[in-house]
Amino acid sequence: MASNESSKTVFLAMSVNFSIGVAKSVIATITMSSAMFSEAVHSFVDTGNQFLLWFGIKQSKKSNPKIYPLGRGKEEYFWTLVVAVLIFTVGGLVSLEHGIESLSHPKKLQNLTISVTLLIVSIILESYVLKKAVSQLKKGKSKDKGILTLLKESTDGPLIAIVVEDFAATLGLIFALIGTLLSSITENSIYDSISAISIGALLMVSGIFLGYEMKHLITGESISDERLKKINKIINSHQHVTVLSRLKIIPIGSNQYLALVTLDYEDSLDNNEVVSVNQSLIETIQITEPSIVEIYFNPQ
């Protein structure tokens, strides 16, 4: 269900970014604006990235138990990492290079009223997509948690990417709007160039942040301490468990976790009773935390 919602959000973002990218390209050609050029690059990079995110979601749903016994959920993280690299290189470096070049060789800007109109419309559209993505990120979560905390706790790679991309897109559009307005008022293109450089730097920072978050998920960052304590309490409180030696919970896909449990049972239990205890623990744990889809017990 989470993947379906993420897929819808990705498609919405991809449609919006492609439409805006085409419009920005036309306006950038007419006005000779470096900021608008950077924004056009930004939109097309985001469109390509969102296609990769959609592709990753589709690949992660494919099943081949012989080759992938725990599923292909982590493939989403690989494609999201690819997106992070593209945001940094194609989006960030190209925009930065173009901004620096326009700063060295300033051009006369024209028809900036058209740019301002398009930027305002783009900010409204990108804000709508960002709001939808943030609402999905917050779904079922504590209301007192900030966006940054939710991003760090989420295991939904494509959703994390959409939130980061659209935040950068909205902020980048604001940079472009400020640069365009200042250039129009002062008739000095330096502000347009500075906003293009700012957009490039913003994209590079966004790419680094997204890549950093994917690193944690790919390497198996554990579930939050709060949820880990809940599982720990469930196992320790079982009447036939004497010692819980080790509990490891790692992500294996979008909102999916694998639990590895090392524990000791009462000596009086036979094999059938141990199996019954394990089944009872699995049912109780999955009622409390449905995201834990795989649980393996290792008797001490």
| Residue range 36-59: mean pLDDT, rounded | 87
Asked whether the predicted pLDDT for residue 109 surpasses 80, the reply is no
pLDDT of residue 1: 42
Same domain for 181 and 252: no
Q: 53 and 97 share a domain?
A: yes
User: What pLDDT sits at residue 3?
Assistant: 59
Q: Residue 114 maps to which CATH number?
A: 1.20.1510.10
Bridge partners (DSSP) listed for residue 264: 243
What are 216-253's pLDDT values in tens digits? Answer: 888 888 888 888 999 999 999 999 999 999 999 999 88
- What is the pTM for the complete model shown? 0.82
Assign 6 a pLDDT band (cuts: 50, 70, 90): confident
Residues whose CB falls within 8 Å of the CB of residue 237, separated by 6 or more in sequence, listed in order? none
Q: Are residues 77 and 171 in the same domain?
A: yes
| Per-residue pLDDT reduced to its tens digit, 145-189 | 888 888 988 888 989 999 999 999 899 999 989 988 998 888 888
Same domain, 292 and 172: no
pLDDT at 234: 93
DSSP-derived pairing of the beta strands 256-265 and 241-253: antiparallel
- At residue 116, the pLDDT reads 87
Q: Are residues 245 and 123 in the same domain?
A: no
* Phi (first) and psi of residue 269, to 5 degrees: -75, 135
Q: Check whether residue 179 and residue 278 sit in a common domain.
A: no
Same domain? For 214 and 231 the reply is no
pLDDT band at 294 (very low <50, low <70, confident <90, very high): very high
**Do 232 and 205 fall within a single domain?**
no
The H or E element spanning position 293 is strand 292-299
Backbone angles phi, psi at 17, to 5 degrees: -65, -35
- Residue 31's domain comprises 2-218
Tokens standing for residue 17 = 């970014």
Asked if 157 and 91 sit in the same domain, the reply is yes
> Do residues 228 and 222 touch, judged by C-beta distance below 8 A?
yes
Model confidence at 42, in pLDDT bands (50, 70, 90)? Answer: confident
Q: How many domains does the chain have?
A: 2
In this structure, what CATH number is given to the domain that contains residue 292?
Answer: 3.30.70.1350
User: Mean pLDDT lowest for which of 74-83, 141-150, 289-298?
Assistant: 141-150
* Residue count of the chain: 300
